Amino acid sequence: MVGYNMDGPARDRVMKLMQEKDRIESEIRDQTAILETNNVGMQDALVDCDGFPRNDIDVYKVRHARHRIICLQNDHKEIMKQIERGLTEVHSSFVGSSGQGTSRRIVPVQNYTNGHASMNGHSAMNGNDDVGQCFAIVGPVQEGSPAELAGLCENDEILQFGSINHNNFTEITQVHQIVSHSVGQRIQVRVKRNDLVQSITVVPRPWEQPGLLGCQIRRL
């Protein structure tokens, strides 16, 4: 994710932070899988109508998974702040070195995030020709959901969702697969709203209601 191929302690710290971020995201996915296996979310009741622990789920594992997810989400939020500060430091160090006449070369580092190739942090959305036609639309967005917090609105027409655009879209399950495999990770979404195209970053995660986004996405 770092756009500068340069040595130095600041860059090393950022790389270690990114490795820890990946570890946290991996554990979030593992803990979320436990909830999915038991067919419960973060807020589903763990007792039956008589007040006894449900016998159709592993109550202990579900409780533990929920607690870990909450802790991990807090850790993820904090480490993303640290990464942002670290990237600023790396950039400042390079600018300072350049101002003193040091001849360090910036080499673009190509990365892939949820199917997007990026150069120096700018998404290459599979070419502008690939994102001119909508293939899906956003349905009702629940209040307080990851979708609402990201800025998605009902009736947004989707031009790009992660690696999906109208050229490679075949069925809505493609979107569901990207969401389920990107818990705690950023998905770049491009939508058309009132004839204006907007880029939005959404992070799927367990929240107080079922689902990871809190909105419906339907094919056009």
Domain-ending residue, one of 107, 142, 174: 107
pLDDT recorded at residue 93: 59
- CA dihedral in degrees (106, 112, 114, 120; nearest 10)? 10
Task: Identify whether 100 is part of a domain.
Answer: yes
Task: Identify whether 3 is part of a domain.
Answer: no
Task: Identify whether 1 is part of a domain.
Answer: no
Least confident of 3-17, 57-71, 199-213: 3-17
Q: Within a 13 Å sphere around the CA of 167, how many CA atoms are in the beta-carbon half?
A: 9
Q: Domain check: are 65 and 135 in the same one?
A: no
pLDDT recorded at residue 211: 85
Tell me phi and psi for residue 216, to 5 degrees.
Answer: -95, 140
Helices (H) and strands (E) in the chain, counts: 4, 9
Enumerate residues 6+ apart whose C-beta is below 8 A from 21.
Answer: 76, 79, 80, 83
Quote the pTM value: 0.46
Q: Which two tokens stand for residue 71?
A: 């802790």
Task: Identify whether 57 is part of a domain.
Answer: yes
Q: What is the mean pLDDT of the chain?
A: 77
Total number of domains in the chain: 2
CATH number, domain of 205, equals: 2.30.42.10
pLDDT recorded at residue 147: 92
pLDDT in tens, 95-148: 555 444 433 333 333 333 333 333 333 333 333 444 479 999 999 999 889 999
User: Would the pLDDT of 89 be above 90?
Assistant: no
Q: Domain check: are 213 and 134 in the same one?
A: yes
User: Would the pLDDT of 215 be above 90?
Assistant: yes
Which domain does 177 fall in, by range? 128-219
Gap between the Cα atoms of 57 and 39, Å rounded: 8
pLDDT recorded at residue 142: 92
Task: Identify whether 149 is part of a domain.
Answer: yes
DSSP codes joined into one string, 60-84: HHHHHHHHHHHHHHHHHHHHHHHHH
User: Would the pLDDT of 92 be above 70?
Assistant: no
pLDDT in tens, 147-183: 998 999 999 999 999 989 998 998 998 998 889 888 8
What would you measure as the largest C-alpha separation in the chain, in angstroms?
Answer: 75
Contact 69, 41 (CB under 8 A): no
User: Would the pLDDT of 66 be above 50?
Assistant: yes
Gap between the Cα atoms of 95 and 86, Å rounded: 14
Task: Identify whether 62 is part of a domain.
Answer: yes
Enumerate residues 6+ apart whose C-beta is below 8 A from 72.
Answer: 24, 27, 28, 31, 184
Better-scored residue on pLDDT, 25 or 67: 67
Gap between the Cα atoms of 5 and 108, Å rounded: 7
User: Would the pLDDT of 43 be above 50?
Assistant: yes
Domain-ending residue, one of 75, 107, 139: 107
pLDDT recorded at residue 192: 93
pLDDT recorded at residue 202: 93
Domain-ending residue, one of 73, 107, 141: 107
